[in-house]
Structure 1
Amino acid sequence: MHQDMVLLVREPKPEFRLCLYIVFDFIQILIFFFCLMFIQTWLHSEQEAAKDLRKALSEAEARNLELATELETVTRKLDQLQESVQRFNEYLNMSLKMAARDTGALREAKDKLEKRVEELTLRLQLETRQRTDLEEAKTQEYAKQQEALQAMWLQVEEANAVVVREREAARKAIEEAPPVIKEIPVLVEDTEKINSLTSEVEALKAERQAAEHLEKAFSETEARNSELATELENATRKADQLHESVQRLEEKLSNSESEIQVLRQQALAISGETKTTPEDILVKCISQNLGYNGDMPVAACVIYKCLLHWRSFELERTSVFDRIIETIGSAVEVLEDNEVLAYWLSNLASLSLFLEQIINAARSASTNDINGKFGERKSTRKCCSDCTLGKYQEKPKHNGEYVKAGLAELEQWCIEATDEYAGSAWDELRHIRQAVGFLVTYQKPKMSLAVITSFFPVLSIQQLYRISTNYWDEKYGTHSVSSDVIANMRVMMTEDSNNAVSSSFLLDEDDSIPFTVGDITESMEQVNVNDIELPQLIRENSSFSFLLTRKEASPS
């Protein structure tokens, strides 16, 4: 009996052995499921890393595009600067050609400046060549980066495909796994169970190898990501270097512009070192605001005395009138300063009165000769009018609104002043009023030539063409008349080309006034131009000693 009990203890029952097998299989399946869950978690993290990598690559590509845009902007600025240098070179050549006709010193200065400009041009060409090389290097680097990005994208897609294939293999392995609990009715089926377990072990080994392959692919992907990050840093560094190179080019261009400015000042200094004539001193003196001596403008008196002493009125042709007219014309271009305009208008009025007195005094002896010699008086007024009109043409629409507002105030003044004082002043401004009205009209593109001529009958075709072609609206962006109307205007201008009156682009001026210049002269107090206080520049120069020593009588 004791031996039977020992046998019972040493040899377990078949049911107990079956339970042990089932528990062992269950534990293996749990381990397998835990492994699959770990693999899925790892694959999910790998996908997130791949997404981050794609995002970084897209940001790098956007940064490269921004850098390319900045480089194009800088290139455009360089081209504009080059055009400015070329225009300045042309201006220097033209100025030096005009100055070379007068003095040999200016010819030497011109040669020096031309050599300097050629040096600057060569330097600019060198800088342009360097910029072209930088652009080519940047283009090549950008192409290499694009190829690297494409290769990285392919590697990422391959890694994703490997992950998807491994996931599908794992899923199929899970689906093909044997059931957890399997009844073993007889002992003979143990061999089949062992075979199935062996196959499961082989499957687990295969899955383990697949997991190792995935881990290896993950490590390779991580290494590739680090390489891509390094390449991205290198690309960013190269982009920064390109940006610094562009900044250095801009600094060099600014330095070149400064050198050109210095050369311009040197040219002015060289021209100033040439021998100055009394006419130069007079022009330099009247270009300043000399003010008034009592009620008399000093500049007009000085000009009159000097021209009278130099006998400029007796010469057939002299350059002093042109220089004085040019100085006055350049001074009145500052239309925003009413004090400057009033100052020069008073000087021109006084000078006209002085000249009118001389004409009246000599008219009995030689009227025709004196009238021919004093024709510069109208040229002075014409130059001032042209300078004023040219200044208004710089911003037609903007200035047209200002002139319209001024005309409205003038019309109100004429209405309040009555016809006794205003007279026909408002009617005399019909050219100006219609020109301003056409300028500020907003429906120009919709108007035909017939409508325009019917609305503005006083203006000639040449004047309408000049206003239409010089028009632009810098405030609201409206357009001028249509191209068909412009073409019709050109045809009509060609037909009227033989008409000298209709070929004038400026507004007609009416010299007729209800009173004569003599009436104005008689109504003014007699002024002795010798009593004025001369400017310091005139007093210190010996060429103008006649203004200090001679006591000439007042003009009569």
Structure 2
Amino acid sequence: LDELCRLHEMAPPVIKETVVWVEDADKVNSWNAEVDRLKGLLGAEMQATIDAKKALAKAELRNEKLARLLGVQEIKNKTLQDSVKRMEEKASDLEAENRMLRQAVASIPSVKSPSSENHRAHDLQATPLNEKTTNGAIKPMIVDRNGDIHDDDNAELPASNDAEAEKQQQELLIKCISEDLGFSTGRPIAAYLIYRCLVHWRSFEEDRTTVFDRIIQKISAAIEARDSNEKLAYWLSNSCTLLLLLQRTLKTSGSAASARQRRRTSSLNSPKENQAPGHPERSVSDGRLVGALTDISQVEAKYPALAFKQQLTALLEKVYGVIRHDLKKELSSLLGLCIQAPRTFVVSPRGTGSQGTDMAQQASMAHWQSIIKILTNSLNVLKSNYVPPFLICKLFTQVFSFINVQLFNSLLLRRECCSFSNGEYVKAGLDELEHWCHWLTEEYAGSSWDELKHIRQAVTLLILEEKHSKSLKEITDDFCPALSMQQLYRISTMYCDDKFGTLGIPSDVVASMRAKMIGGSSSPSVQDDINSFLLDDDFSIPFSVDDIARLMVHVDIADMDLPPLIQEKNGSPFEA
């Protein structure tokens, strides 16, 4: 049985199976088309994913940039809010002051014509230090050791001549401040003399007086003359000191306590001193031009005093602006010569320069040395007239900002200046300015050196070695953080190495600069935004009356000497 089974299995099948493949061409083609379509969709999805990732990366970069800008804007916003708050406080003070001024103007009666004042002034000038009596005779006046002006027979002045005597005292004050009174232990005598006279005459509490207008006219005339920088610096020092004294003395709104203090102070003198000029019972400040000042409290200022303070502030700003303008004008012609290296300029390695090379380099730096000389002369003039250090610091800070603007704008506007050798020349000149700032000390220099950051960083880019290996991030973060993308693009496209012939900024970095300019542009015209690479000069007044009161040191007027014109008049000596 087993054998039969084995034979059966070995026997070939009676019917042989044959596999027949049936091919449906249409179906195969449709499937192939579907596969191709799916492949296309997959490729499109992959491309869309890649594009989305690129867009996401750009969006993240833009968001990061916007976040940085937002942080900067938040800081600026906080600064502006603080400024607005201070301005609102000042506006409130000014509104109260103006309200008082309007009330004072409404209550002021008609004043005498200028012609009559000029006529009386002419009479007083014709007979200085003398006073007319009721019968027309002339009585000589004597200035005693305490600065008192009185008759030789010590007779009391009639009430009808009070205004005449006060006018004569004003004439003597105007005559004094017309001269250069100089300084006493670093303090301007004219400012202190004016202040002491006004306090002694109680002019700040007068509803009507002409002394303020006469002082302003005399100072304005001296400023308009502009004989020399010495005269401007002299009045800058005097007006600043006088304004400080007014700021610490005058107040626009008082309290009951201050009123009581003022009444206590008034009770020490004759009550008649508070009456209007020309009043029959009002004395003329005891006949003294300058009284002793031991303890002066604040007083509530009337309209003439407040107007005088405003006019003096305007004069101070004008003098400062004139000095700044003259200094900038003197530097402008030299700055135009300092932006391009002369042919004789040679930079030699330290310690290897010959004597001839050093002489040639010194000759090529003559323009920079002239700038240093002008700055030093201006500093000496200001210091010799005891201009407050903070004002000198403000002045030089703005002047250095002007130097930065002039040099930087000239560099970006002249292609021939964007070269390696020219960068070395400007760098050598900036080193001279840096040494001068260190010599000047921080008290007078302040942030002057920092104001040159644009031209300093532009020069750094010009003389940077291996520019072709630097990335945009390195340039913006490490070498030129203060420069905008427009300014970097401008320098990079105009640069040429005229000394070694090396490569400049890589083309892909320049392309990235342009892309960032266009991508970050907020201007309606992209081209206008690309060309906005120039800097603007600062013409503002960088200080306020509050700054003067806060930054100037305490002033002492108790031991100030009287000027010679009070001690001597018309060749006749008097004791002061």
In the superposition, the TM-score normalised over structure 2's length comes to 0.29
Higher relative contact order (CA 8 A, sep 6+): 2
- Quick check: which one's helix share is greater? 1
